[in-house]
Amino acid sequence: MNRRVSAITPSITLGITAKAKELAAAGRTIFSFAAGEPDFDTPEHIKAAAVEALGKGLTKYTPTAGALELRKAIAAKLENENGIKTPPAQVVVSCGAKHSLFNLVLALCDEGDEVILPAPYWLSYPEMMRVAGADSVVVQCSQENDFKMTPDEFAAAITPRTRAVIINSPSNPIGGVYSEEELRAIAEVALKHRIYVISDEIYEKMTYDGCRHFSIASISDEMAALTITVNGFSKAYSMTGWRLGYLTGAREIVDAVDALQSHSTSGPTTFAQFAAIAALTGTQAPLQEMVAAFDERRNYMYERLTSIAGVTCVRPQGAFYMLPDIGEAGMDSVTFSEKLITDTGVAVVPGAAFGNDRTVRLSYACSMQNIENGLDRLESFIKAL
């Protein structure tokens, strides 16, 4: 096997998922907080646009970087909503934001380059680095600072080999949202040391408590040239299975990603791209309804979790996850998660997968009933320890 691919860690979450399936098959009721996607269907008008595209025969290759119509709609969205001015030619659409990130890491990073990764982080980032031969430099952020990386922590992690930093706001697995002020301070450090910022904004539409998402690339032209903004359709439009994401950034980076993609997947599925235009330009009401439902579940889950003695948690302001600290239980996160599912049928994701072994991740992209029943069990489990 290829040396770099052999170095990939098989997903830590698979063990828990397999256990959940095994227990369910044996007739046990499972309360899962492991979901990584919205529990809502793709809105009807988006599905209708895909059907219409099929009817029109939009079933052939598009340009590698995506259909020009879609890239125009994305460029307009980036300018109007994010304050990022980009020509459609500088947008590359890929098979999911994960694919955009993977292409980007391969295009940008050489063997021996370092990429700064604030922890807790999304579990795919370090594996992408491994495949590219780059080294992750993990910055352990403190819960006191809501697990956000400070400018000082960022600066201290920079070496002559640093190529990029990954900022994911709103974040998976924390639900943390960097404020405009915090991002301006991060940008200052990045500009001073000429470090690329990979900004994963996939959860931008899911914010709560009046919190607003801010795009770091919108700070200045200089910052736009140093930032690669990554986004997609999976989360905001419940389109995880459609596989569509995109990125924008400096011309030479976008061209390298385009060239790489031209020899791997080519452009993403054509009729899905036309549905994505409808997602951007059509009604945003289903998105607002979904976010309102998430907000209600978030409030309930947060109150319940933090009322359990020994459990602390950053109050999430975005995405649909929370990451309680269960360190008081005296077990590492994998042992805790395995015991929890075996004893109670409650599935959570061990924080070890995200670079923090004192925590577990709970998703609230599930029904209120699942949340109520699952938390009852989680609470009795922790109390009995």
Ligand X SMILES: *Cc1c(COP(=O)(O)O)cnc(C)c1O
Closest separation in Å from C-beta 325 to ligand X: 20
| Residue 201 binds ligand X (CB under 6 A) | no
Q: Is 163 or 235 the residue whose CB approaches ligand X more closely?
A: 235
Written as six digits, the tokens of 47 are 């599905």
Q: Which of 97, 236, 313, 371 binds ligand X (CB under 6 A)?
A: 97
| Residue 265 binds ligand X (CB under 6 A) | no
Q: Is 198 or 375 the residue whose CB approaches ligand X more closely?
A: 198
Site for ligand X in 157-176 (CB under 6 A): 168, 172
SS3 63: coil
Q: Is 99 or 163 the residue whose CB approaches ligand X more closely?
A: 99
| Residue 46 binds ligand X (CB under 6 A) | no
Closest CA to 58 of 287, 234, 273, 321: 273
- Round to whole Å and give the CA distance between 274 and 347: 36
| Residue 202 binds ligand X (CB under 6 A) | yes
Q: Which of 38, 43, 88, 96 binds ligand X (CB under 6 A)?
A: 96
Q: Is 138 or 155 the residue whose CB approaches ligand X more closely?
A: 138
Q: Going by C-beta distance under 8 Å and a sequence separation of 6 or more, which residues neighbour residue 119?
A: 138, 139, 140, 141, 147, 354, 355, 356
Site for ligand X in 121-150 (CB under 6 A): 122
Could you please report the per-residue DSSP string of 161-229? TEEEEEEESS-TTT-----HHHHHHHHHHHHHHT-EEEEE-TTTT-B-TT-----GGGS-HHHHHHEEE
Residue range at the interface with ligand X (CB under 6 A); choices 14-22, 141-149, 230-238, 325-333: 230-238
Q: Are strands 321-322 and 360-363 parallel, antiparallel or unpaired?
A: antiparallel
The amino acid at residue 140 is Q
Residue range at the interface with ligand X (CB under 6 A); choices 14-22, 227-235, 305-313, 355-363: 227-235
Residue range at the interface with ligand X (CB under 6 A); choices 136-144, 228-236, 248-256, 363-371: 228-236
Closest separation in Å from C-beta 368 to ligand X: 22
Closest separation in Å from C-beta 190 to ligand X: 20
Closest separation in Å from C-beta 122 to ligand X: 4
Q: Going by C-beta distance under 8 Å and a sequence separation of 6 or more, which residues neighbour residue 109?
A: 115, 129, 132, 133, 134, 163, 164
Q: Which of 120, 126, 245, 316 binds ligand X (CB under 6 A)?
A: 245
Closest separation in Å from C-beta 200 to ligand X: 5
Q: Which of 200, 258, 325, 357 binds ligand X (CB under 6 A)?
A: 200
Number of neighbours of residue 10 by Cβ within 10 angstroms:
8
- Round to whole Å and give the CA distance between 271 and 69: 12
| Residue 234 binds ligand X (CB under 6 A) | yes
Closest separation in Å from C-beta 361 to ligand X: 11
Q: Is the peptide bond before 173 cis (omega within 30 degrees of 0)?
A: yes
What residue ranges in the chain does DSSP mark as E strands? 31-32, 91-94, 114-119, 135-140, 162-168, 196-200, 227-232, 245-248, 321-322, 346-347, 349-350, 360-363
Which stretches of the chain bind ligand X, using CB under 6 A? 96-98, 122, 168, 172, 200, 202, 232, 234-235, 240, 245
